[in-house]
Amino acid sequence: MNKIWLVIQREYSTRVRKKSFIIMTILGPLLMAAVMIVPVYLASISDETKTVGVVDESGFFENAFKDTDKIKFKDMHLDIAAAKRNYEKLDYNMVLYIPKPAYTYPQKIFIYSNKEPGLNVERYIRNSINNDLRTMRLKNAGVSNDLIKTMKNSISISTIKITDTGKEEKRMGQLYFIIGMVLAISIYFFIFLYGTQVMRGVIEEKTSRIVEVIISSIKPFQLMMGKIIGLALVGLTQFLLWVFLTAAIVTGAKIAFAGQLQQVEKYEMQKTGQVIDPSNKVTVNANYDKTAEVFEAIKSINFTVIVGSFIFYFLFGYLLYAALFAAIGASVDNDVDTQQFVLPVTVPLIISIATIQSVVNNPDGPTALWLSMIPLTSPVSMMARIPFGVPYWQIALSMVLLILTFVLTTWFAGKIYRIGILMYGKKPSYKDLWKWLKY
């Protein structure tokens, strides 16, 4: 055990001191934070306020268009020909033309501009006109204003889970979907990134013949386990640093750009009709408190189970695949020869990430159940299911199967590693690997 610990220390200390480790530890959080912050910041500076000149020949839409923080509407009091000629001189960004209807209501509207008005502007104008048209048609049909207001109220859907004890818990599928996807993809990239590092490290030591000196004082199995565990600790260290640094950067950015972020959030909520705008009395869907629902759904999440399961599948999923990658690295002399062995090993991992959409869409279905039980796919598939709530017996069974498979795989990988680490000059076949297993 002391010799394994020495190998772990060597692998850990040499890799965390590398410039590449330090650079990626710093760049990783910056890149992840940029993914979350930059789109919002760009939205705050790119969505300039646009003034729309309205030429309404129909006379139906006098009160249809409500100003927002980014879109202002003004009646031009001109005919359409004059409006198109002079709208830029009058500081308008575009002209909204509503022609006089041939029969009852206008069938089409037009936007004139020398630049693209933008999807948000088009969507807002279209929704405003359609809402106003529906109101007019209902009024013409004899429907009262109070009934029209009632008909405009949107209905929110809340999912309530009834537990085995009869307790009711509010659920939110979108939130669980995001959490499950993030956790599963994190494990997938961790296994792939550090598993291949184990393989390349073994190949480097083998081709440089350093391994011949090392195994004169340590057993091949001890060397393999030391390399696997040492790299696992390197990956865990980097991942934890990424989490803490990303959280710190995002929190600092939110504090620094609180005003801009609040303005963008308000604009986005106005577009979707989820907030009251005091300046123009937009009251669409005002009684629906999305924030309260999110917090209530967060309270129902068992974070103890999620964190504990993530750490378990994070480590054992890596250990399982790292043992296989170490055996592959010991069997070949260069990266080119690894291709024939890497593909069969990584196919289950690729299947688990390719089917993740099916798993999160139906976390209790047979596909999700079997993928979360098969040890080669369970690290990714089970983590995608757990935020939705998985019976404890299924989690326990999946963990036991993963541990047993890890022990068996490590034993087989150790036998291949023991022979392959000293084999040079020959490209091994699957038949050769089978012979090594029987030695």
For residues 238 and 244, what is the distance between their CA atoms, to the nearest angstrom?
A: 10
- pLDDT the model gives residue 396: 92
Q: Give the CATH number of the domain where residue 104 resides.
A: 3.40.190.10
Residue where one domain finishes, among candidates 84, 118, 133: 133
**Do 318 and 422 belong together in one domain?**
yes
Surface-to-core class of residue 206, CB atoms within 10 Å of its CB (0-12 exposed, 13-18 middle, 19+ buried): buried
Residue 44 domain-assigned (yes or no): no
Q: Model confidence at 275, in pLDDT bands (50, 70, 90)?
A: very low
Residue where one domain finishes, among candidates 110, 133, 156: 133
| DSSP one-letter code for 99 | P
**Do 202 and 122 belong together in one domain?**
no
Q: What is the mean pLDDT of residues 286-309?
A: 65
Q: Looking at the predicted structure, is the pLDDT value of residue 285 above 90?
A: no
pTM: 0.64
Q: Which of 59-68, 78-87, 161-170, 201-210 has the lowest mean pLDDT?
A: 161-170
Residue 278 domain-assigned (yes or no): yes
- pLDDT the model gives residue 277: 44
Q: Looking at the predicted structure, is the pLDDT value of residue 252 above 60?
A: yes
DSSP, residue by residue, 109-160: -EEE-SS---HHHHHHHHHHHHHHHHHHHHHHTT--HHHHHHHHPPPP--EE
Structural domain boundaries, residue 249: 174-438
- Give first-to-last CA distance, the chain, whole Å: 24
For residues 9 and 115, what is the distance between their CA atoms, to the nearest angstrom?
A: 62
Q: Model confidence at 4, in pLDDT bands (50, 70, 90)?
A: confident
| Beta-ladder partners of 72 | 51
Q: Model confidence at 273, in pLDDT bands (50, 70, 90)?
A: very low
- Which pLDDT tens digit goes with each residue over 256-272? 656 555 555 555 555 44
**Do 366 and 286 belong together in one domain?**
yes
Beta-carbon contacts of 351 under 8 Å, excluding residues fewer than 6 positions away, are 371, 377
For residues 265 and 379, what is the distance between their CA atoms, to the nearest angstrom?
A: 36
**Do 200 and 99 belong together in one domain?**
no
- Which pLDDT tens digit goes with each residue over 232-246? 888 888 878 887 887
Residue 396 domain-assigned (yes or no): yes
Residue where one domain finishes, among candidates 115, 133, 151: 133
Q: Looking at the predicted structure, is the pLDDT value of residue 41 above 80?
A: no
Surface-to-core class of residue 23, CB atoms within 10 Å of its CB (0-12 exposed, 13-18 middle, 19+ buried): exposed
- What is the percent of the chain where pLDDT is above 90? 6
- Which pLDDT tens digit goes with each residue over 127-179? 777 776 666 666 666 666 666 566 555 555 556 666 666 666 566 667 778 88
**Do 106 and 220 belong together in one domain?**
no
Q: Which of 73-77, 384-388, 435-439 has the lowest mean pLDDT?
A: 435-439
**Do 322 and 388 belong together in one domain?**
yes
**Do 325 and 427 belong together in one domain?**
yes
The two beta strands, 159-162 and 168-171, are antiparallel
Q: Model confidence at 230, in pLDDT bands (50, 70, 90)?
A: confident
Give the chain's mean pLDDT: 75
Q: Model confidence at 221, in pLDDT bands (50, 70, 90)?
A: confident
- pLDDT the model gives residue 272: 46
For residues 29 and 95, what is the distance between their CA atoms, to the nearest angstrom?
A: 45
**Do 352 and 220 belong together in one domain?**
yes
Q: Model confidence at 226, in pLDDT bands (50, 70, 90)?
A: confident
Residue 361 domain-assigned (yes or no): yes
Residue 164 domain-assigned (yes or no): no
- Which pLDDT tens digit goes with each residue over 359-406? 888 888 888 899 999 999 999 999 988 888 888 899 999 999 999 998
**Do 116 and 193 belong together in one domain?**
no
R_g (Cα) of the chain, nearest Å: 31
Residue 123 domain-assigned (yes or no): yes
DSSP, residue by residue, 349-411: HHHHHHTHHHHHHSTTSHHHHHHTTSTTTHHHHHHHHGGG---HHHHHHHHHHHHHHHHHHHH
For residues 428 and 421, what is the distance between their CA atoms, to the nearest angstrom?
A: 12
Residue 1 domain-assigned (yes or no): no
**Do 196 and 252 belong together in one domain?**
yes
- pLDDT the model gives residue 358: 86
**Do 327 and 409 belong together in one domain?**
yes
**Do 305 and 373 belong together in one domain?**
yes
Residue 145 domain-assigned (yes or no): no
Q: What is the mean pLDDT of residues 335-358?
A: 83
Q: Looking at the predicted structure, is the pLDDT value of residue 286 above 60?
A: no
Number of domains in the chain: 2
